[in-house]
Chains A and B, each alone.
Chain A
């Protein structure tokens, strides 16, 4: 299938002289979060893996700031020639536009290239906490409304939206304490300044392994291999399966041949052993959707999150 795609690209390339040259110089991949973070890790590993089949280097440039919206805006506003693309995440693309005015809105204002990975969300407590299960925790929250504090890595993150969704559906009052990223929230959980935390599986893993923390609930369609004892929200009767996903995007109007070439190289990179190994240790599930499939999922996320943002009154 991919070989057929490649053949099609080659044929197209031969037919159209202008496209024949793509890529004639390195491609800039803008990562809207700082070097060393989770998304940077995916971007750099992807760039390395793409080198093996993409004729020119894919150079990662970090353009952090304002919850990823600055780097993302730069991608969307770049010249649509296939030489500036971006890595992005569901919240940057489908939550932030509902919170503020940005140069991009729905998925028709940019060109999705490929879905890369999913990142699950779980609810964790300290291991010396009295609640052995999510039901215990929710029961305790019902008994003393507002007493239990739950951290998120920030207002408007998918982790926050899931928490608010859980509160509504379970009819409990939990005190939400937002931090600026989970690197700040985890010390607060471990130090007992909040009772529970919304985190990604890999973030809490070292503390679970060290016997300091326990995962109670997973916001996924299926139980996680990493935490098989933690039920899904669905099992408890709450249909909350929102995860985080990363994808590649290009500015709207990027030549289809360029999008296709980038897509094909990234698709092959997803199967690269080094990329697969990185994904496993970092708790990412490699997941694939092509440009159309990705656009469809983004449209759905965009609609759902608009509703959530409105219901929670997050738009100032």
Chain B
């Protein structure tokens, strides 16, 4: 069966009434957990994993996968409307999305997000179908040294996401790297900065840090400003759709975000979060008017929102082609395969074509459903803003607390949320951008782990690490991106 025949065969399976229903339930739950701040896809999927016991394998997987990519649609909603990310992969969306909302363009931002997610989802499905095996083999060529180089380059390029002071960005990066070392070191089990506390040995999770720095901090700022509801945008219904100019500005970022996101999905770890940061940095760099970013540039919404959905498709590649999950969400999907006695891996497509193609094809149908579901909802979501500020803030705060607890059933995650909420509020007062901290917290643990593994591999020989061709190439890319523009400017200036 060729890839396109397979997809057609899969569509036949995915459109059976029960699978359509499963897909719809999945994407609906996904949209809801995406919209609700704090509660993310991983928690929801873990919660619903046992309920797939009773379903047949393809149906159960179609539903769980729907939650995963569906959450990427919903995540942007609260980012744009109230500056509180709906889930971790929508932090970047808040930067320009919220500014757009304040200018009365919330509807446009939400519509572009949904459209971007849809395009990325479509690109992703075809990416899986046409390039899946090839990309999985490519991912295998990345060993610990290559991932180390990738994280170093990533940190160099992404640490100054939104401009601003270099010194502040470096401070935030340092802090993020330090926070990433707390807890039990994952490969040798040494406990660091735990002060003998068994709770702290689990480490500081990314999600409560993000929800604290952005969500709780925002609510504290709002509370401080008092009940100035007028500060929040009034949205008129006729402003719901993007203007022709806005569509034009968004189309290229959506295309770039789709590709970048899909490829980033192949990186182990929280790749959806990483994808949004990369897409935002990319848009800012290619823009002819980078100064608009941070003040409501629609490119800063379109790129990242396409990228996080693209990354969910990319993350399916190692799972479906190798049977190996690269991210926490796909690990749960692997669990769902196993519950049904299936072993995803190189043979899945030939042994159980109905499951493989059914799930892949359902992703396309699911994305279509999400588009249809989300566009009419834009108006509903925007009307949330008419809710009294004190009610909305209290709800958001509660949801953040519930979401943080649902990650690991851990009280520590709640304290991290509260602590970083206060810290985030302080940073807002000082007008310091916390995003470099997030970048460092995403990349730091991966960077440290892969460096240590590389050193184990080469028995401590650093030269062996940096002279691998891919490693060297990746590091050079980082240097070029960083040093290129200033060098070019200097070369041009003497004239």
Q: Which residues on A are within 8 Å of B, measured CB to CB?
A: 34-37, 40-41, 44-45, 48, 60-67, 69-70, 73, 96, 99-103, 146, 149, 154-156, 175-180, 183-184, 186-188, 190-194, 202, 205-207, 209-210, 212, 277-278, 281-282, 316
CB neighbours of B190 from chain A (8 A): 316
Residues of A within 8 A of B201 (CB): 65-66, 69-70
A175 in contact with B199 (CB, 8 Å):
no
CA distance A192 to B268 in the complex (A): 17
In the bound complex, residues from chain A placing their C-beta under 8 Å from that of B328 are: 34
Judge whether A156 and B140 touch: CB under 8 Å: no
Segment at the interface with A among B9-17, B306-314, B316-324, B429-437: B316-324
How distant is the Cα of A47 from the Cα of B95 in the complex, in angstroms? 45
Report whether B198 and A102 are in contact in the complex, using a CB–CB cutoff of 8 Å. Answer: yes
Cβ B202 vs Cβ A66 within 8 A: yes
Are A183 and B143 closer than 8 Å at their CB atoms?
no
Closest residue of chain B to A316 (Cβ to Cβ) is B190
Closest 10 CB pairs of A and B: A36-B335, A206-B345, A65-B202, A193-B143, A191-B140, A35-B46, A180-B186, A210-B346, A36-B332, A66-B201
Please name the residue on chain A nearest to B455 by beta carbon.
Answer: A177
Kindly state the separation between the CA atoms of A40 and B140 in the bound complex, as whole angstroms: 27
Q: Please give me the residue from chain A that is nearest to B200 by CB atom.
A: A66
- How many whole Å from A50's CB to the nearest CB in chain B? 13
Say yes or no: is B459 at the interface (Cβ < 8 Å to chain A).
yes
Q: Is B325 an interface residue (CB 8 A)?
A: yes
- Check B189–A64 contact: CB distance below 8 A: no
> Separation in Å of the B325 CB from the closest CB of chain A?
6
Stretch at the interface among B30-38, B120-128, B231-239, B336-344: B336-344
For A62, what are the chain B residues with a Cβ–Cβ distance below 8 Å?
46, 408-409
B456 neighbours in A (Cβ, 8 Å)? 149, 175-178
Ordered by A's residue number, 18 sampled pairs between the chains whose C-beta atoms are within 8 Å are A35-B45, A35-B332, A35-B335, A36-B333, A40-B335, A41-B335, A66-B201, A102-B198, A154-B189, A179-B187, A179-B453, A183-B324, A183-B326, A192-B140, A193-B145, A206-B323, A207-B323, A207-B346
A-chain residues with CB within 8 Å of residue B339 when the two chains form the complex: 41, 44-45, 278
Taking a contact as CB atoms under 8 Å apart, the answer to whether B344 and A206 are in contact is: yes
- List, in ascending order, chain B residues with CB within 8 A of A41's CB: 335, 338-339
Partner of B46 from A36, A99, A179 at Cβ < 8 Å: A36
**Chain B residue at smallest Cβ distance from A67:** B189
A-side contacts of B453, CB under 8 Å: 177-179
Could you say which residues of chain B place their CB within 8 Å of the CB of A188?
Answer: 143-144
Tell me if A99 and B189 are in contact (CB < 8 A).
Answer: yes
B53 near A: Cβ within 8 Å?
yes
Q: Please, how many residues of chain B have a CB less than 8 angstroms from a CB on the other chain? A: 57
The answer to the question of B102 belonging to the interface, with a C-beta cut-off of 8 Å to chain A, is no
- B141 lies within 8 A of chain A by Cβ: yes
Are A191 and B338 neighbours in the complex by a CB distance under 8 Å? no
Q: Hey, which chain B residues are within 8 Å of A34, CB to CB? A: 46, 328, 331-332
Nearest A residue to B146 via CB reads A193
How far does the Cβ of A215 sit from chain B's closest Cβ, in whole Å? 15
> How many whole Å from B74's CB to the nearest CB in chain A?
21
B441 to chain A, nearest CB (A): 17
Closest Cβ neighbor of A194 among chain B residues? B457
Q: How far is the CA of A194 from the CA of B341 in the complex (A)?
A: 29
A154/B188 in contact, CB under 8 A: yes
**Inter-chain contacts of A191 with B (CB < 8 A):** 139-143
Name the distance in Å between A200's Cβ and chain B's nearest Cβ: 13
CA distance A177 to B139 in the complex (A): 19
Partner pick for A187 among B196, B199, B322, B331, CB 8 A cutoff: B322
B79-124 residues at the A interface, CB under 8 angstroms? none
In-complex Cβ contact of B457 among A102, A149, A155 (8 A): A149
Give Cα A70 to B183, complex, Å.
11
- Interface of chain B residues 46 through 74 with chain A (CB within 8 A): 46, 49-50, 53
B320 vs chain A, min Cβ distance (A): 12
Please encode chain B, from 269 to 297, with 1 for each CB lying within 8 Å of some chain A CB and 0 for all others.
00000000000000000000000000000
Question: Which residue of A has the minimal Cβ distance to B335?
Answer: A36
Question: A101 with B196: in contact, given A36-B46, A149-B457 (CB under 8 Å)?
Answer: yes
Beyond A36-B331, A36-B332, A70-B410, 5 additional contacts (C-beta under 8 Å) are: A35-B45, A48-B50, A62-B408, A70-B201, A154-B189
In the complex, A37→B227 CA distance in Å?
Answer: 47
Which residues in B have their C-beta under 8 angstroms from that of A176? Answer: 456
Q: Would you list which residues of chain B between 130 and 145 have a CB under 8 Å from chain A?
A: 139-145
Shortest A53–chain B CB gap in Å is 18
Nearest Cβ distance between residue B211 and chain A, in whole angstroms?
A: 18
How far does the alpha carbon of A165 sit from the alpha carbon of B328 in the complex, in Å? 32
Which listed residue, B187, B338, B344, touches A155 by the CB 8 Å rule?
A: B187
Among the listed A65, A206, A316, which residue makes an inter-chain contact with B346, where contact means beta carbons less than 8 Å apart? Answer: A206
Residues from chain A with Cβ under 8 Å of B345 in the complex:
206-207, 209-210
**A316 → B minimal CB distance (Å):** 6
Output the least CB separation between A306 and chain B (Å): 16
- Whole-angstrom distance from the CB of A167 to the nearest CB of chain B? 14
| Alpha-carbon separation in the docked complex, A80 to B457 (Å) | 46
CB distance from B456 to the nearest CB of A (A): 5
Nearest Cβ distance between residue A5 and chain B, in whole angstroms? 29
- List CB contacts (< 8 Å) of B188-222 with chain A: 188-191, 196, 198-199, 201-203
Closest chain A residue, CB of each to CB of B187? A178
Q: Within the complex, which residue of B144, B188, B268, B335 is in contact with A193, where a contact is CB–CB below 8 Å?
A: B144
CB distance from A241 to the nearest CB of B (A): 24
Known: A65-B410, A179-B453, A277-B341. A155 touches B333 (CB 8 A): no
The listed residue with most B CB atoms (<10 A of its CB), out of A67, A184, A191, is A184
Chain A nearest CB, measured from B103 CB (Å): 42
Determine the distance from Cα of A278 to Cα of B447 in the docked complex, in whole angstroms.
36
Partner of B324, one of A67, A156, A187, A210: A187
CA–CA, A192 and B457, complex, Å: 12
Determine whether the beta carbon of A206 is less than 8 Å from that of B343: yes
Residues of B within 8 A of A69 (CB): 184, 198, 201
A61: B residues at CB distance < 8 A: 409
Chain B residues whose C-beta falls within 8 Å of the C-beta of A64 in the assembled complex: 202, 408
Q: Given A35-B49, A66-B191, A178-B187, check contact A146 B459 (CB 8 Å).
A: yes
Distance from B150 Cβ to chain A, minimum over Cβ atoms (Å): 14
Q: A281 to B408, Cβ gap below 8 A?
A: no
The listed residue (A45, A65, A190, A194) touching B203 by CB distance below 8 A is: A65
Interface-centre pick from B268, B410, B453 (highest chain A CB count, 10 A): B453
Determine which of B50, B144, B331, B343 lies in contact with A205 in the assembled complex, contact meaning CB atoms within 8 Å. B343
Are A44 and B50 also in contact (CB < 8 A) when A35-B332, A36-B332, A207-B345 are? Answer: yes
A residues less than 8 Å from B187 (CB atoms): 154-155, 178-180
